[in-house]
Structure 1
Amino acid sequence: MEDNLAIILNDSNKTNSKLQLLSAFFEEEIIYKIYLRSQVVHKLFETNPELDINKLELFHLQYTASAIELLKKIKASNERNVSLIYDEMQLNKEMMEKLNSSVFSEKNYDLDKQKQSLKINLSLRRLYQTLSDNTDEYPFSKNINTFSSRFSQDFYYDISADQMMNLIQYETADVYRNSYAIIQKKLMGLLCKHEFRTEFFCGLKTGGMIAEVYRFLDVDRHYLFFPSKSLFLLCDLSEIPDIDWTNSLSKKARIIQEMTDKNDQLESRANILKTAIPDTVRTLLQEYYDKISEVDFLQKIGNYDVQTNILRTMLNTDTF
């Protein structure tokens, strides 16, 4: 008899331990309350040997075991769904690694922008000199078009063909030209006035057409360099109203940023989903707790009616 008592009490402790772990996993108040109530029932039988110990075994079989199986079923279902989310996150990470390894970095771009600005400023000084001296000297720095060919695909803003055509239109009477370049007279005047102090601002592209936009350091004015025609014209960026000029990230860098944000959202979703309990189950658990908290609960153990088996019925559905 004592051996049977010890076995049932030992099994009861194991069952309650499982319930405790599940309450810690879900962090749900009602599960913790059920666990505490199960502990109270266990202690009642442990400290009152005159009670029929078989009723403790019946209590766990009829109630606790069903609750545990239900919670384990929900936990397994949640973990399957979370696994799908983690698979998506992993695919995103792999894609980000590929993008990172296949593009020039923002650091490369920022460094080469400075070099390109120096090349353009020097080239424009030479162009001014050749126009002034009426000579036929080639004014452009070496590899001046390398910058755009290197970075346009990833870093330049996309604009429409009409916008590009509007930017590069000019009146013949308004420009200087020689064998190598065409430059707006008003632009050349501004460059001389401000000692050719300009910096690269951004790149524009549409189809196969590419333009580089530069900004004066001492005045809020911009001009563009259209490499395919060696053309330099003042430009008004307000003519391109649909571009966020503050966003200097490359296309692939923006994709990486978006995927990083998406993974953060997926991580939050996974954390919530991992311990989610459907409202119907939460209501069911509350009914279960109310039942085992009734004053005359012990007298009802062993009465297998519809109400006492509601958890077991839930287990036999395909809800999860």
Structure 2
Amino acid sequence: MKILNDSKRRLQKLKILENFFKQPDLVGIAVRTEIIHSFFEKNIEALDASKLELFHLQYTDSLIELLRKLKKQKEATILNIDTEINAHKAYLAQLAHSDKRESSFETDQRFHETEVSALLEAAYSTLTGLYKPYNLSSIRSFPNQYAQSYFRDDDDVTHLLLVQGTKLYTLEGLSIERLLLSRLATKNFKLRFVCGYCASRQYFELFRILGSDDEFIWNLQTNGFYLLKEAFKHQLNREKNTCNSGTLEGELDRKIGILEEKRKEVRNSFPDDVKELLKKYRETIDNNNLTDEQLNIEEEKNILNSMLDLNLNN
């Protein structure tokens, strides 16, 4: 019979929703609805099956529609949280991979020293009358790869900037302090990378001229090379750069933990106003006397209809 088959389908939908929300009153409602269905199924010849259909239309369908809306909203929120969790976990995986690059950083900074030395020597040759080509992009490969993960944060950029009045040589694409170039030439352009800085979202590298106490800055924003003034030396941390992923990993783990707790809270939450309606609904169908061979479907139908008017965004 079509009415009984439709009733079974409604029961299946209700059980799925009951299993999703796991609310005590909803469990009781599902059980009572199944009893009502069974009562009609066993007495199909004696009872008016249209009463069962009317019961579902005014009660079960309204409840299923409400719970579906609530489930859809909850699942959308959980999906957004899961997306954020997965993004954090993916970045954590990248950091784990970058930790293995510590030895690569040490090796690559040796190559970087050679490239910077060659560029400055080429600039010197060009300025002294013997043109020598240089490649600015090649010396950027090192900071492009490592600056974000290794360069040290520094909130004061002033001591890393060029001092006003410094005399410079200007070539295509770069500028070099005259005194710096002279001192590099006397030391055969032998230099050592000390560390990199990130200050006010700008990147700088600090070098030392081997065989001297001189240190100089490469300003990556201006491609300017200039000596670090003695007055500023004590303000700089010269320790070698290390991967900052440890700090990032801790912060990401903390954020993931917060998001997972939020996900659990959303998954287990249930609106108080809906709880109250479920309680009234359960009382209503529990009070129906099946031996009367008729369901009282009019008395409290407004309880279920009011469910559909709930603002689930609250």
TM-score by length of 2: 0.54
* CA displacement, residues 220-245 of structure 1 (integer Å, 9 cap, x when unaligned): xxxx994445999xx999x97xx9x9
| Per-residue deviation, 1:63 | 1.8
Determine the structure 2 residue equivalent to 1:190: none
Contact 1:106 / 1:249 at 8 angstroms: preserved in 2?
no
The within-5 A match list for 1:173-184 is 179-180=186-187
The count of aligned residue pairs is 240
d(CA) in 2 for partners of 1:225, 1:266:
50
The within-5 A match list for 1:151-170 is 151-152=146-147, 154-161=149-156
Structure 2 unaligned residues grouped into runs of 5+: 114-137, 161-182, 218-226
Contact 2:32 / 2:286 at 8 angstroms: preserved in 1?
yes
Look up the equivalent residue of 1:36 and give its one-letter code.
V
Whether 2:42 is the aligned partner of 1:44: answer no
- Could you say if the C-alpha distance between residues 148 and 43 of structure 1 is closer, same or farther in structure 2, counting changes exceeding 3 Å? closer
d(CA) in 2 for partners of 1:58, 1:119:
81
Look up the equivalent residue of 1:158 and give its one-letter code.
D
Determine the structure 1 residue equivalent to 2:285: 292
SS in 1 for 2:205: strand
SS in 2 for 1:309: helix
| Per-residue deviation, 1:180 | 3.3
Determine the structure 1 residue equivalent to 2:30: 35
SS in 2 for 1:65: helix
The within-5 A match list for 1:244-283 is 248-249=243-244, 254=248, 262=255, 266=259, 269=262, 273=266, 276-283=269-276
d(CA) in 1 for partners of 2:8, 2:46:
17
d(CA) in 2 for partners of 1:46, 1:146:
77
SS in 1 for 2:3: helix
Structure 2 counterpart of 1:21, from 12, 16, 19: 16
d(CA) in 2 for partners of 1:72, 1:272:
19
Contact 2:196 / 2:203 at 8 angstroms: preserved in 1?
no
Structure 2 counterpart of 1:71, from 42, 67, 74: 67
- Could you say if the C-alpha distance between residues 148 and 316 of structure 1 is closer, same or farther in structure 2, counting changes exceeding 3 Å? closer
Look up the equivalent residue of 1:35 and give its one-letter code.
A
Structure 1 unaligned residues grouped into runs of 5+: 1-5, 121-142, 166-176, 182-199, 214-223
The within-5 A match list for 1:206-225 is 206=199, 209-211=204-206
Contact 2:194 / 2:206 at 8 angstroms: preserved in 1?
no
Contact 1:67 / 1:311 at 8 angstroms: preserved in 2?
yes
| Per-residue deviation, 1:64 | 1.6
Instruction: Work out the percentage of aligned pairs sharing the same amino acid.
Output: 27
| Per-residue deviation, 1:71 | 0.9
Determine the structure 1 residue equivalent to 2:104: 111
| Per-residue deviation, 1:250 | 5.5
Structure 1 counterpart of 2:303, from 295, 299, 310: 310
d(CA) in 1 for partners of 2:307, 2:197:
62
SS in 1 for 2:100: helix
Structure 2 counterpart of 1:301, from 282, 295, 300: 295
| Per-residue deviation, 1:78 | 3.0
Look up the equivalent residue of 1:46 and give its one-letter code.
E
Structure 2 counterpart of 1:62, from 55, 58, 62: 58
* CA displacement, residues 55-84 of structure 1 (integer Å, 9 cap, x when unaligned): 333332232222112112222333444555
Look up the equivalent residue of 1:19 and give its one-letter code.
L
d(CA) in 2 for partners of 1:149, 1:18:
56
Contact 2:10 / 2:60 at 8 angstroms: preserved in 1?
yes
